[in-house]
Amino acid sequence: MSAAYRAHGATAVVTLDHPPVNGLGHELRSGIVAGIGRAAADPKIAAIVLIGSPKAFSGGADIREFNTPKMLAEPSLHTVIREIERSSKPVIAAISGACMGGGLELALGCHFRVAVAGAQIGLPEVKLGLLPGAGGTQRLPRVLGVETALNMIVSGTPVPSEKLKGTPLFDQFVESDFAALLPGALKFAEKVVAEKRPLKRVRDIKVAYPNAEGFFGVAKNTVKGMAGPFPAPLKCVECVEAAVKQPFEEGLATERRLFGELINTAESKALRHAFFGERAATKIPDVPEDTPTRPIKSAAVIGAGTMGGGIAMNFANAGIPVTVLEMKQEALDKGLATIRKNYEGSVKKGKLKPEDFEKRMGLIRPTLKYEDLAGADIVIEAVFEDMKVKQQVFEKLDAVMKKGAILATNTSTLDVD
Protein backbone atom coordinates (compact mmCIF):
# COMPACT_ATOMS: atom_id res chain seq x y z
CA MET A 1 0.00 0.00 0.00
CA SER A 2 1.13 3.59 -0.48
CA ALA A 3 -0.98 6.72 -0.12
CA ALA A 4 -4.74 7.12 -0.46
CA TYR A 5 -6.26 10.30 -1.92
CA ARG A 6 -9.62 11.78 -1.08
CA ALA A 7 -11.17 15.23 -1.42
CA HIS A 8 -12.98 16.76 1.55
CA GLY A 9 -14.61 19.82 0.04
CA ALA A 10 -11.79 22.12 -1.06
CA THR A 11 -9.14 20.16 0.86
CA ALA A 12 -7.35 17.09 -0.47
CA VAL A 13 -6.43 14.48 2.14
CA VAL A 14 -3.44 12.28 1.35
CA THR A 15 -3.42 9.38 3.81
CA LEU A 16 -0.14 7.54 4.38
CA ASP A 17 -1.11 3.88 4.21
CA HIS A 18 1.87 1.60 4.66
CA PRO A 19 1.33 -0.48 7.84
CA PRO A 20 2.48 -0.89 10.48
CA VAL A 21 4.30 2.47 10.91
CA ASN A 22 4.06 4.12 7.47
CA GLY A 23 7.71 3.56 6.65
CA LEU A 24 8.74 5.91 3.85
CA GLY A 25 9.73 3.32 1.31
CA HIS A 26 9.82 4.06 -2.42
CA GLU A 27 6.16 3.15 -3.01
CA LEU A 28 4.88 5.44 -0.25
CA ARG A 29 7.16 8.28 -1.34
CA SER A 30 5.79 7.93 -4.88
CA GLY A 31 2.23 7.92 -3.54
CA ILE A 32 2.77 11.16 -1.61
CA VAL A 33 4.22 12.93 -4.65
CA ALA A 34 1.35 11.66 -6.80
CA GLY A 35 -1.17 12.94 -4.27
CA ILE A 36 0.47 16.37 -4.07
CA GLY A 37 0.55 16.55 -7.87
CA ARG A 38 -3.09 15.53 -8.20
CA ALA A 39 -4.16 18.19 -5.71
CA ALA A 40 -2.04 20.83 -7.42
CA ALA A 41 -3.71 20.09 -10.77
CA ASP A 42 -7.27 20.25 -9.41
CA PRO A 43 -8.62 23.84 -9.42
CA LYS A 44 -11.28 22.84 -6.87
CA ILE A 45 -8.61 21.99 -4.30
CA ALA A 46 -7.28 24.84 -2.17
CA ALA A 47 -5.29 22.98 0.51
CA ILE A 48 -3.70 19.59 1.22
CA VAL A 49 -3.58 17.56 4.43
CA LEU A 50 -1.09 14.73 4.98
CA ILE A 51 -2.22 12.28 7.67
CA GLY A 52 -1.17 8.83 8.86
CA SER A 53 -2.79 6.34 11.24
CA PRO A 54 -3.46 6.43 14.99
CA LYS A 55 -0.24 4.48 15.47
CA ALA A 56 1.98 6.58 13.25
CA PHE A 57 2.12 9.63 11.06
CA SER A 58 5.32 8.00 9.87
CA GLY A 59 7.96 6.03 11.73
CA GLY A 60 10.60 7.15 9.25
CA ALA A 61 12.57 5.69 6.39
CA ASP A 62 12.26 2.06 5.38
CA ILE A 63 15.57 0.80 6.77
CA ARG A 64 15.41 -2.27 4.54
CA GLU A 65 16.06 0.01 1.57
CA PHE A 66 19.37 1.28 2.96
CA ASN A 67 22.37 0.38 0.79
CA THR A 68 20.02 -0.76 -1.99
CA PRO A 69 19.04 0.89 -5.32
CA LYS A 70 15.56 1.65 -3.90
CA MET A 71 17.07 4.06 -1.41
CA LEU A 72 18.30 6.30 -4.22
CA ALA A 73 15.34 5.76 -6.54
CA GLU A 74 13.29 8.86 -7.27
CA PRO A 75 11.35 10.29 -5.70
CA SER A 76 13.78 10.35 -2.79
CA LEU A 77 12.61 11.80 0.51
CA HIS A 78 14.49 14.98 -0.39
CA THR A 79 12.42 15.18 -3.58
CA VAL A 80 9.16 14.58 -1.72
CA ILE A 81 9.94 17.39 0.71
CA ARG A 82 11.00 19.70 -2.11
CA GLU A 83 7.69 19.08 -3.92
CA ILE A 84 5.78 19.93 -0.75
CA GLU A 85 7.77 23.12 -0.16
CA ARG A 86 7.21 24.19 -3.75
CA SER A 87 3.45 23.65 -3.58
CA SER A 88 1.46 26.82 -4.20
CA LYS A 89 -1.31 25.33 -2.05
CA PRO A 90 -0.81 25.00 1.70
CA VAL A 91 0.28 21.53 2.85
CA ILE A 92 -0.60 20.65 6.44
CA ALA A 93 0.85 17.68 8.32
CA ALA A 94 -1.69 16.12 10.72
CA ILE A 95 0.47 14.34 13.28
CA SER A 96 -0.41 11.46 15.59
CA GLY A 97 1.43 8.44 16.98
CA ALA A 98 5.03 8.07 15.89
CA CYS A 99 6.47 11.02 13.98
CA MET A 100 10.04 9.85 13.85
CA GLY A 101 13.09 10.17 11.65
CA GLY A 102 12.08 10.69 8.05
CA GLY A 103 8.49 11.10 9.22
CA LEU A 104 9.46 14.18 11.24
CA GLU A 105 11.56 15.43 8.33
CA LEU A 106 8.51 15.05 6.09
CA ALA A 107 6.38 17.02 8.56
CA LEU A 108 9.06 19.73 8.79
CA GLY A 109 8.83 20.09 5.02
CA CYS A 110 5.12 20.95 5.25
CA HIS A 111 3.95 24.55 5.52
CA PHE A 112 1.93 23.91 8.70
CA ARG A 113 1.68 21.20 11.35
CA VAL A 114 -1.29 20.15 13.49
CA ALA A 115 -0.83 17.53 16.22
CA VAL A 116 -2.55 15.61 18.97
CA ALA A 117 -1.14 15.14 22.45
CA GLY A 118 0.79 11.93 22.91
CA ALA A 119 2.43 11.90 19.49
CA GLN A 120 6.07 10.86 19.72
CA ILE A 121 8.41 13.34 18.07
CA GLY A 122 12.01 12.35 17.41
CA LEU A 123 15.01 11.81 15.18
CA PRO A 124 16.35 8.40 16.33
CA GLU A 125 18.80 7.81 13.47
CA VAL A 126 21.82 8.04 15.78
CA LYS A 127 20.72 4.75 17.36
CA LEU A 128 21.40 3.11 14.00
CA GLY A 129 24.79 4.76 13.65
CA LEU A 130 23.38 7.40 11.31
CA LEU A 131 22.16 11.00 11.33
CA PRO A 132 18.94 12.48 9.93
CA GLY A 133 19.56 12.55 6.20
CA ALA A 134 16.60 14.49 4.76
CA GLY A 135 17.11 17.88 6.33
CA GLY A 136 16.32 17.01 9.94
CA THR A 137 19.55 18.47 11.31
CA GLN A 138 18.92 21.69 9.37
CA ARG A 139 15.20 22.20 9.95
CA LEU A 140 14.70 21.06 13.55
CA PRO A 141 17.03 23.73 15.03
CA ARG A 142 15.04 26.32 13.10
CA VAL A 143 11.80 25.47 14.91
CA LEU A 144 13.00 24.26 18.32
CA GLY A 145 16.20 26.21 18.84
CA VAL A 146 19.75 24.90 18.69
CA GLU A 147 20.05 23.32 22.14
CA THR A 148 16.73 21.45 22.18
CA ALA A 149 17.23 20.20 18.64
CA LEU A 150 20.82 19.13 19.29
CA ASN A 151 19.82 17.17 22.39
CA MET A 152 17.05 15.38 20.49
CA ILE A 153 19.28 14.56 17.52
CA VAL A 154 22.31 13.38 19.51
CA SER A 155 20.27 11.30 21.97
CA GLY A 156 17.73 9.99 19.46
CA THR A 157 15.16 10.05 22.29
CA PRO A 158 11.57 10.87 21.28
CA VAL A 159 9.68 13.68 23.02
CA PRO A 160 5.89 13.74 23.61
CA SER A 161 4.28 16.34 21.35
CA GLU A 162 2.67 18.19 24.26
CA LYS A 163 6.12 19.06 25.61
CA LEU A 164 6.82 20.92 22.37
CA LYS A 165 3.52 22.79 22.40
CA GLY A 166 4.01 26.51 21.89
CA THR A 167 7.10 26.10 19.69
CA PRO A 168 7.12 26.89 15.96
CA LEU A 169 7.06 23.15 15.34
CA PHE A 170 3.28 23.09 15.77
CA ASP A 171 0.76 25.59 14.47
CA GLN A 172 -2.18 24.05 16.27
CA PHE A 173 -2.98 21.33 18.79
CA VAL A 174 -6.07 19.17 18.66
CA GLU A 175 -7.02 18.57 22.29
CA SER A 176 -8.42 15.11 21.78
CA ASP A 177 -7.53 11.81 20.14
CA PHE A 178 -6.93 10.61 16.57
CA ALA A 179 -10.64 10.66 15.75
CA ALA A 180 -10.60 14.44 16.14
CA LEU A 181 -7.34 14.98 14.26
CA LEU A 182 -8.63 14.97 10.69
CA PRO A 183 -11.65 17.21 11.43
CA GLY A 184 -9.31 19.55 13.29
CA ALA A 185 -6.80 19.58 10.45
CA LEU A 186 -9.53 20.21 7.86
CA LYS A 187 -10.88 23.12 9.90
CA PHE A 188 -7.35 24.52 10.22
CA ALA A 189 -6.83 24.15 6.45
CA GLU A 190 -10.04 26.09 5.76
CA LYS A 191 -8.85 28.83 8.09
CA VAL A 192 -5.45 29.06 6.39
CA VAL A 193 -7.13 29.42 2.99
CA ALA A 194 -9.77 31.89 4.20
CA GLU A 195 -7.18 34.11 5.88
CA LYS A 196 -4.81 33.78 2.90
CA ARG A 197 -1.97 32.99 5.24
CA PRO A 198 1.49 33.06 3.66
CA LEU A 199 3.01 29.60 3.20
CA LYS A 200 5.76 29.08 5.76
CA ARG A 201 8.89 27.20 4.82
CA VAL A 202 11.02 26.04 7.76
CA ARG A 203 14.11 26.36 5.60
CA ASP A 204 13.59 30.14 5.45
CA ILE A 205 13.68 30.60 9.23
CA LYS A 206 16.90 32.22 10.38
CA VAL A 207 18.81 30.28 13.01
CA ALA A 208 21.51 31.84 15.16
CA TYR A 209 23.25 31.11 18.44
CA PRO A 210 25.33 33.53 20.51
CA ASN A 211 28.93 32.39 20.97
CA ALA A 212 28.30 29.48 18.62
CA GLU A 213 32.02 28.70 18.40
CA GLY A 214 32.33 28.13 22.13
CA PHE A 215 29.01 26.27 22.41
CA PHE A 216 29.81 23.76 19.67
CA GLY A 217 33.36 23.31 20.97
CA VAL A 218 31.98 22.24 24.35
CA ALA A 219 29.28 20.13 22.70
CA LYS A 220 31.82 18.24 20.60
CA ASN A 221 34.03 17.48 23.59
CA THR A 222 31.06 16.32 25.65
CA VAL A 223 29.59 14.15 22.91
CA LYS A 224 32.98 12.70 21.98
CA GLY A 225 33.45 11.51 25.55
CA MET A 226 30.03 9.89 25.65
CA ALA A 227 29.96 8.39 22.14
CA GLY A 228 33.02 6.17 22.55
CA PRO A 229 33.86 4.41 19.28
CA PHE A 230 30.61 5.42 17.54
CA PRO A 231 31.10 8.23 15.01
CA ALA A 232 27.45 9.24 14.47
CA PRO A 233 26.85 11.45 17.55
CA LEU A 234 29.79 13.71 16.74
CA LYS A 235 28.69 13.96 13.10
CA CYS A 236 25.26 15.04 14.36
CA VAL A 237 26.88 17.93 16.21
CA GLU A 238 28.75 18.93 13.04
CA CYS A 239 25.48 19.01 11.11
CA VAL A 240 23.68 21.18 13.65
CA GLU A 241 26.71 23.47 13.65
CA ALA A 242 26.35 23.71 9.88
CA ALA A 243 22.70 24.75 10.36
CA VAL A 244 23.93 27.73 12.37
CA LYS A 245 26.99 28.69 10.35
CA GLN A 246 26.04 27.86 6.76
CA PRO A 247 23.22 28.91 4.40
CA PHE A 248 20.45 26.31 4.27
CA GLU A 249 21.50 24.61 1.02
CA GLU A 250 25.13 24.39 2.15
CA GLY A 251 24.06 22.94 5.49
CA LEU A 252 21.89 20.42 3.66
CA ALA A 253 24.90 19.42 1.53
CA THR A 254 26.98 18.95 4.69
CA GLU A 255 24.27 16.75 6.19
CA ARG A 256 24.03 14.67 3.03
CA ARG A 257 27.81 14.22 2.84
CA LEU A 258 28.15 13.09 6.45
CA PHE A 259 25.12 10.78 6.13
CA GLY A 260 26.82 9.16 3.14
CA GLU A 261 29.96 8.59 5.19
CA LEU A 262 28.08 7.05 8.11
CA ILE A 263 25.84 4.67 6.19
CA ASN A 264 28.86 2.69 5.00
CA THR A 265 30.57 2.41 8.39
CA ALA A 266 30.89 -0.95 10.13
CA GLU A 267 29.27 0.58 13.22
CA SER A 268 26.10 1.56 11.37
CA LYS A 269 25.83 -1.76 9.57
CA ALA A 270 26.24 -3.59 12.89
CA LEU A 271 23.60 -1.46 14.65
CA ARG A 272 21.14 -1.99 11.80
CA HIS A 273 21.81 -5.73 11.89
CA ALA A 274 21.07 -5.73 15.63
CA PHE A 275 17.90 -3.67 15.01
CA PHE A 276 16.50 -6.27 12.63
CA GLY A 277 17.75 -9.15 14.77
CA GLU A 278 15.92 -7.91 17.85
CA ARG A 279 12.67 -7.65 15.91
CA ALA A 280 13.10 -11.04 14.28
CA ALA A 281 13.63 -12.59 17.72
CA THR A 282 10.14 -11.50 18.80
CA LYS A 283 8.48 -13.39 15.96
CA ILE A 284 7.92 -17.15 15.75
CA PRO A 285 7.40 -18.24 12.11
CA ASP A 286 4.73 -20.88 12.81
CA VAL A 287 2.73 -18.80 15.31
CA PRO A 288 0.26 -16.44 13.57
CA GLU A 289 0.01 -12.86 14.82
CA ASP A 290 -3.68 -13.34 15.64
CA THR A 291 -2.96 -16.23 18.02
CA PRO A 292 -4.93 -15.55 21.22
CA THR A 293 -2.82 -14.86 24.31
CA ARG A 294 -3.37 -16.13 27.82
CA PRO A 295 -3.80 -13.66 30.69
CA ILE A 296 -1.01 -13.86 33.27
CA LYS A 297 -2.32 -12.80 36.68
CA SER A 298 0.08 -14.76 38.87
CA ALA A 299 3.51 -16.30 38.42
CA ALA A 300 6.02 -18.58 40.11
CA VAL A 301 9.79 -18.92 39.92
CA ILE A 302 11.83 -21.91 41.05
CA GLY A 303 15.23 -20.84 42.31
CA ALA A 304 16.10 -17.61 44.14
CA GLY A 305 19.61 -17.24 42.75
CA THR A 306 20.83 -14.52 40.39
CA MET A 307 18.60 -15.55 37.48
CA GLY A 308 15.58 -16.59 39.54
CA GLY A 309 15.67 -13.40 41.59
CA GLY A 310 15.96 -11.27 38.46
CA ILE A 311 13.02 -13.05 36.82
CA ALA A 312 10.92 -12.61 39.96
CA MET A 313 11.72 -8.87 40.00
CA ASN A 314 10.52 -8.56 36.41
CA PHE A 315 7.13 -9.98 37.34
CA ALA A 316 6.91 -7.72 40.40
CA ASN A 317 7.90 -4.71 38.29
CA ALA A 318 4.94 -5.53 36.03
CA GLY A 319 2.60 -5.69 39.03
CA ILE A 320 2.19 -9.48 38.85
CA PRO A 321 2.30 -11.46 42.13
CA VAL A 322 5.12 -14.02 42.01
CA THR A 323 5.88 -16.93 44.33
CA VAL A 324 9.57 -17.83 44.67
CA LEU A 325 10.46 -21.42 45.60
CA GLU A 326 13.72 -22.68 47.11
CA MET A 327 14.66 -26.01 48.68
CA LYS A 328 16.29 -24.54 51.80
CA GLN A 329 15.34 -21.59 53.99
CA GLU A 330 18.89 -20.26 53.91
CA ALA A 331 18.91 -20.04 50.10
CA LEU A 332 15.45 -18.46 50.12
CA ASP A 333 16.47 -15.81 52.66
CA LYS A 334 19.64 -15.02 50.72
CA GLY A 335 17.71 -14.62 47.45
CA LEU A 336 15.10 -12.30 48.98
CA ALA A 337 17.84 -10.25 50.63
CA THR A 338 19.48 -9.76 47.23
CA ILE A 339 16.18 -8.67 45.68
CA ARG A 340 15.61 -6.22 48.52
CA LYS A 341 19.15 -4.85 48.12
CA ASN A 342 18.60 -4.34 44.38
CA TYR A 343 15.38 -2.41 44.98
CA GLU A 344 16.99 -0.35 47.77
CA GLY A 345 19.74 0.62 45.32
CA SER A 346 17.10 1.85 42.87
CA VAL A 347 15.46 3.92 45.61
CA LYS A 348 18.79 5.53 46.55
CA LYS A 349 19.40 6.46 42.91
CA GLY A 350 15.95 8.01 42.66
CA LYS A 351 14.81 5.44 40.08
CA LEU A 352 12.17 3.97 42.37
CA LYS A 353 9.82 5.63 44.84
CA PRO A 354 9.86 4.23 48.42
CA GLU A 355 6.17 3.34 48.19
CA ASP A 356 6.79 1.41 44.97
CA PHE A 357 9.66 -0.43 46.66
CA GLU A 358 7.33 -1.70 49.38
CA LYS A 359 4.64 -2.56 46.83
CA ARG A 360 7.01 -4.64 44.71
CA MET A 361 8.51 -6.47 47.67
CA GLY A 362 4.95 -7.23 48.77
CA LEU A 363 4.27 -8.97 45.45
CA ILE A 364 7.14 -11.46 45.97
CA ARG A 365 6.08 -14.41 48.11
CA PRO A 366 8.68 -16.91 49.39
CA THR A 367 7.94 -20.62 49.82
CA LEU A 368 9.59 -23.99 50.34
CA LYS A 369 6.60 -26.01 49.06
CA TYR A 370 5.74 -26.93 45.47
CA GLU A 371 2.07 -27.01 46.44
CA ASP A 372 2.16 -23.21 46.91
CA LEU A 373 2.79 -22.81 43.17
CA ALA A 374 -0.30 -24.70 42.05
CA GLY A 375 -2.47 -21.70 41.17
CA ALA A 376 0.13 -19.79 39.11
CA ASP A 377 -0.59 -19.03 35.47
CA ILE A 378 3.09 -19.42 34.58
CA VAL A 379 6.04 -21.02 36.36
CA ILE A 380 9.66 -20.55 35.32
CA GLU A 381 12.40 -22.79 36.67
CA ALA A 382 15.85 -21.26 37.14
CA VAL A 383 17.74 -24.07 38.84
CA PHE A 384 21.20 -25.52 38.15
CA GLU A 385 22.29 -26.20 34.56
CA ASP A 386 21.82 -29.93 35.02
CA MET A 387 19.35 -31.83 32.89
CA LYS A 388 18.52 -34.38 35.61
CA VAL A 389 17.75 -31.64 38.13
CA LYS A 390 15.52 -29.85 35.64
CA GLN A 391 13.70 -33.07 34.75
CA GLN A 392 12.99 -33.69 38.44
CA VAL A 393 11.61 -30.14 38.75
CA PHE A 394 9.21 -30.65 35.84
CA GLU A 395 8.04 -34.01 37.19
CA LYS A 396 7.00 -32.22 40.39
CA LEU A 397 5.39 -29.39 38.44
CA ASP A 398 3.39 -31.90 36.38
CA ALA A 399 1.93 -33.21 39.63
CA VAL A 400 0.92 -29.90 41.21
CA MET A 401 0.30 -27.23 38.56
CA LYS A 402 -3.21 -26.38 37.43
CA LYS A 403 -4.43 -27.32 33.97
CA GLY A 404 -3.40 -24.73 31.36
CA ALA A 405 -0.47 -23.33 33.33
CA ILE A 406 2.59 -22.41 31.25
CA LEU A 407 5.72 -24.33 32.29
CA ALA A 408 8.93 -22.61 31.26
CA THR A 409 12.65 -23.16 31.68
CA ASN A 410 15.58 -20.77 31.92
CA THR A 411 18.73 -22.25 30.41
CA SER A 412 21.66 -21.06 28.34
CA THR A 413 23.38 -24.35 27.55
CA LEU A 414 20.89 -27.22 27.61
CA ASP A 415 18.77 -28.46 24.70
CA VAL A 416 15.30 -28.48 26.25
CA ASP A 417 13.87 -30.40 23.28
DSSP one-letter string for 342-359: HHHHHHHTTSS-HHHHHH
Q: Which of 27, 65, 85, 125 is catalytic?
A: 125
Q: How far apart are CA 315 and CA 295, in angstroms?
A: 13
The total number of residues written for the chain in this structure: 417
Please indicate whether residue 105 is annotated as part of the active site. Answer: yes
147, 155 in Cβ contact below 8 A? no
Q: CB-side exposure of 38: number of CA atoms within 13 Å?
A: 16
79 conformational bin, left if phi > 0, alpha if psi -120 to 50, beta if neither: alpha
How large is the greatest C-alpha to C-alpha distance in the chain, in angstroms? 82
Name 160's bridge partners. 120
Q: CB-side exposure of 229: number of CA atoms within 13 Å?
A: 6
Please indicate whether residue 326 is annotated as part of the active site. Answer: no
Q: CA–CA distance from 202 to each of 51, 61, 249 (Å)?
A: 19, 20, 13
If we measure between CA atoms, which residue out of 109, 75, 117 comes closest to residue 92? 109
Kindly report the backbone phi and psi dihedral angles of residue 64, in degrees, each rounded to the nearest multiple of 5, phi listed first: -65, -20
The DSSP element (H or E) to which 36 belongs, if any, is helix 26-41
Q: Which of 65, 74, 105, 395 is catalytic?
A: 105
Q: How far apart are CA 238 and CA 251, in angstroms?
A: 10
Cis omega before residue 20 (within 30°)?
yes
Name 299's bridge partners. 322, 378
Q: CA–CA distance from 191 to each of 36, 233, 270 (Å)?
A: 20, 41, 48
Residues annotated as part of the active site: 105, 125
